[in-house]
Amino acid sequence: MFNWVENLGKIIIYGTRSLKETFTFAFLIVAGLFRSQTYNSASYIVLLHQIYFTAIQVLPLFLTMAAVIGFLLTGIFLHNLKELGLAAHFGRVIMGFVVTELSPFLTVLLIALRSSSAINAEIATMKVNKELNTLETFNIDLISYLFVPRVVAGMVSVLLLSGLFAIVLLISGFLSSRLLFGMSLNEYGNTLLNSAKLTDIFILLIKCFIFGFFIILIPIYSGINATYELTSIPVAVLRGMVRIFIAIIVIEVLSLIARFA
Amino acid sequence: MRFGLVSGDVPLISNLDVWRNIALVPQYHGGLSEKKARELVQTLLSRFNIERIAALRNPSLTEEERFLVMLLRATMVRDAIVVIDRPFKLVPYLKDLSFVYDNLKKIEELYSLCYILEYTHRLNRPEVGNGRAG
Enumerate the residues of chain A whose CB falls inside 8 A of the CB of residue B32: 41
Domains contained in chain A, number: 1
Q: Which residues of B touch A138 (CB under 8 A)?
A: 10, 24-25, 28, 73, 77
The pLDDT of residue B130: 44
Contact A129 B11 (CB under 8 A): yes
pTM (2 d.p.): 0.88
Cα–Cα distances (Å) from B60 to A149, A202, B13, B57, in that order, read 27, 48, 13, 6
* Cβ atoms of residues A168 and A70 within 8 Å: yes
CB within 8 Å: A41 and B33: yes
d(CA A183, nearest CA chain B) in Å: 51
Residues 6+ apart with CB under 8 A from A177: A74, A75, A78, A183, A188
Asked if residue A9 belongs to a domain, the reply is no
Indicate yes or no: CB of A140 within 8 angstroms of CB of B9: no
pLDDT of A128-166, one tens digit each?
999 999 999 999 999 999 999 999 999 999 999 999 999
Q: Closest by alpha carbon to A60, among A152, A164, A150? A: A164
Domain annotation covers residue A14: no
Q: Find out whether A237 and A117 touch, Cβ atoms under 8 Å.
A: yes
* Residue A24 within a domain: no
CB A130 to CB B11 under 8 A? Answer: yes
**Is A29 a domain residue?**
no
Burial A91-113 (b: 16+ CB within 10 A, else e): bbbbbbebbbbbbbbbbbebbbe
Asked whether residue A252 is assigned to any structural domain, the reply reads yes
Tell which wins on pLDDT, A199 or A249.
Answer: A249
- Residue B23: pLDDT band (50, 70, 90) is very high
Q: What is the mean pLDDT of chain A?
A: 91
Percent of chain A scored above 90 by pLDDT?
63
Do the interacting molecules here have an ipTM over 0.95?
no
Interface residues of A toward B, Cβ cutoff 8 Å, are: 37, 40-43, 45, 122, 125-126, 129-131, 133-135, 137-140, 145
Strand ranges inside B14-112, DSSP E: 80-85
Q: Please report, for chain B, the start and end positions of each structural domain, with discontinuous segments joined by +.
A: 2-129
Task: Tell me how close the Cα of A157 comes to any Cα of chain B, in angstroms.
Answer: 21
Residue B63 is which amino acid? Answer: E
More confident site: B128 or B60: B60
Q: Is residue A31 included in any domain, yes or no?
A: no
pLDDT tens-digit series, residues A51-99: 999 999 999 999 999 889 888 888 888 888 888 888 878 888 888 888 8
For residue A120, the chain B residues in CB contact (below 8 A) are: none
Distance, CA of A182 to CA of A190 (rounded, Å)? 15
A-B C-beta contacts closer than 8 Å: 53
* Percentage with pLDDT > 70 across chain A: 100
Q: How far is B28 from chain A (nearest CA, A)?
A: 6
**Residue A220 belongs to what domain range?**
41-260
Tell me, yes or no, whether A207 lies in a domain.
yes
Is B2-129 in CATH node 3.40.50.300? yes
> Residue A13: phi, psi to the nearest 5?
-65, -45
